[in-house]
């Protein structure tokens, strides 16, 4: 292939007429550069233009600490050294051959020495300028995209730090409540006053983390989309799974009076337990499970459900080991229902329904 044919394959040269291309070719020469050798060096005063026709090269710049920062890869059919050729300033970057390279070198001095050198040089610079502008725009878009990714990664890192503090706070709350009961400072864990203190201790860090991380209601499962579908599905599940408990209450429980203190199911209990259920589900399924999925990149949600259930169960230590086991497996069910429905209403219904049912089974 003749040199002019190589020129015509480049965007800038393709718009030049044959006489201009012939003038450029008359002063140009082929150059062979072995692998790893520097083609142009950052800071050099040279301003010759190169067209890479075979091989691959890498443009780099010196970093603030002395290391080389890779900029972009130069491939066959692309020019290098355009900026220095256009403005005559020192080289802005180094270009190193990644493989053995064949280039066409266009020396500035020889080009200007032609009888029509000024005109030829002007036309070439004009054609190159449009290509450089397009490349600059592309690099600018790439840098903006990279900057946005860095900001997103930094934001994610900060949010993970908040989330870590949040989970530690939940474990501290769980341990503190268990200590109060174990040391008999609290005689009745079903006392309304203690239950309100417990739910507030859980709600405060939840509200703080929602506020700090600016989590919208939709991400907490509080949305209209799928609301009635989730309620209908959960209601059907409640009816099916309640059958064994109803059989026990009707035919086997009778008038047994438990020896130990227990919950008293009345209107006050039903109202306050509904409020407690909403707070618990916003904090556990809507917030905790959602954040576990986000930070673990858990697209299927299995790990998020397991970890959320573990923490949720630990918050019931004050009610005994049996309560921990029951709430752990119940939380597994709630977690997968939420994964499927993606709306918190159905999960709140199930939690409230089975909580009241369990209270009826052990009620005084």
Q: What is the pLDDT of residues 142-172, one digit of tens each?
A: 566 767 777 777 777 778 888 888 888 887 8
For the chain, domain boundaries: 3-145, 186-362
What confidence score (pLDDT) does residue 252 get?
67
Closest CA to 15 of 177, 129, 155: 129
* Separation of alpha carbons 177 and 186, rounded Å: 9
What confidence score (pLDDT) does residue 247 get?
78
- The domain 3-145 is placed in CATH, from the list 3.10.450.50, 3.30.70.20, 1.25.50.10, 2.60.120.10, at 2.60.120.10
Q: Is the dihedral of CA 97, 98, 99, 104 positive or negative?
A: negative
DSSP-derived 3-state class of residue 30: strand
* Separation of alpha carbons 354 and 364, rounded Å: 17
What confidence score (pLDDT) does residue 202 get?
86
Using only the alpha carbons of the chain, give its radius of gyration: 36
* Separation of alpha carbons 234 and 32, rounded Å: 73
The dihedrals phi and psi of 38, each to the nearest 5 degrees, come to -80, 130
Closest CA to 363 of 271, 273, 274, 255: 255
For residues 120 and 23, is the Cβ–Cβ distance under 8 A?
yes
What confidence score (pLDDT) does residue 143 get?
61
Long-range pairs, 358-362, Cβ under 8 A, ≥24: 358/245, 358/326, 359/263, 359/265, 359/269, 359/273, 360/245, 360/249, 360/265, 361/245, 361/248, 361/249, 361/253, 362/258, 362/262, 362/263
- Please give the chain's pLDDT, 364 residues, in tens: 688 888 888 777 877 888 888 898 999 999 999 999 999 999 988 889 999 999 999 989 888 777 888 888 888 888 888 888 888 888 888 999 999 999 999 998 898 888 888 888 888 888 888 777 776 666 666 566 767 777 777 777 778 888 888 888 887 888 887 777 766 777 777 777 778 888 888 888 899 989 888 889 999 999 999 999 999 999 999 998 888 777 776 776 655 545 554 567 888 888 989 999 999 999 999 999 999 998 888 889 999 999 999 988 888 888 788 888 988 999 999 999 999 999 999 999 999 999 888 887 766 5
DSSP string, 289-332: IHHHHHHTT-SS-HHHHHHHHHHHHHTTGGG-HHHHHHHHHHHH
Torsion of CA 322, 324, 327, 333, to 10 degrees: -100
């Amino acid at each position: 292939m003749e040199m002019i044919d190589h020129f015509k394959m480049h965007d800038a040269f393709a718009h030049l007429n044959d006489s201009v291309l012939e003038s450029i070719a008359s002063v140009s020469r082929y150059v062979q550069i072995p692998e790893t050798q520097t083609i142009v060096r950052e800071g050099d005063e040279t301003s010759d233009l190169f067209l890479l026709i075979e091989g691959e090269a890498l443009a780099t710049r010196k970093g603030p600490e002395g290391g080389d920062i890779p900029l972009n890869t130069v491939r066959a059919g692309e020019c290098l050294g355009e900026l220095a050729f256009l403005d005559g300033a020192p080289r802005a970057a180094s270009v190193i051959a990644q493989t053995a390279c064949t280039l066409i070198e266009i020396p500035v001095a020889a080009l200007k020495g032609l009888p029509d050198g000024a005109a030829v040089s002007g036309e070439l610079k004009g054609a190159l300028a449009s290509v450089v502008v397009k490349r600059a725009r592309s690099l600018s878009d790439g840098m903006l995209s990279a900057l946005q990714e860095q900001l997103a990664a930094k934001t994610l890192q900060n949010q993970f730090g908040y989330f870590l503090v949040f989970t530690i706070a939940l474990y501290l709350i769980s341990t503190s409540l268990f200590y109060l009961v174990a040391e008999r400072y609290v005689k009745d864990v079903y006392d309304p006053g203690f239950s309100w203190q417990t739910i507030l201790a859980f709600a405060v860090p939840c509200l703080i983390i929602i506020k700090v991380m600016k989590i919208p209601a939709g991400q907490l499962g509080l949305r209209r989309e799928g609301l009635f579908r989730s309620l209908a599905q959960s209601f059907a599940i409640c009816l099916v799974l309640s059958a064994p408990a109803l059989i026990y209450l009707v035919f086997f429980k009778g008038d047994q009076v438990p020896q130990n203190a227990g919950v008293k199911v009345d209107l006050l209990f039903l109202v306050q337990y509904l409020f407690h259920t909403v707070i618990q589900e916003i904090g556990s399924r809507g917030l905790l499970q959602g954040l576990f999925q986000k930070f673990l990149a858990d697209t299927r949600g299995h790990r998020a459900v397991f970890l959320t259930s573990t923490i949720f169960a630990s918050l019931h230590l004050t009610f005994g080991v049996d309560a921990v086991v029951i709430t752990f497996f119940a939380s597994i069910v709630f977690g997968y229902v939420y994964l499927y429905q993606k709306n918190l209403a159905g999960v709140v219904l199930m939690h409230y329904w089975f909580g009241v049912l369990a209270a009826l089974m052990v009620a005084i």
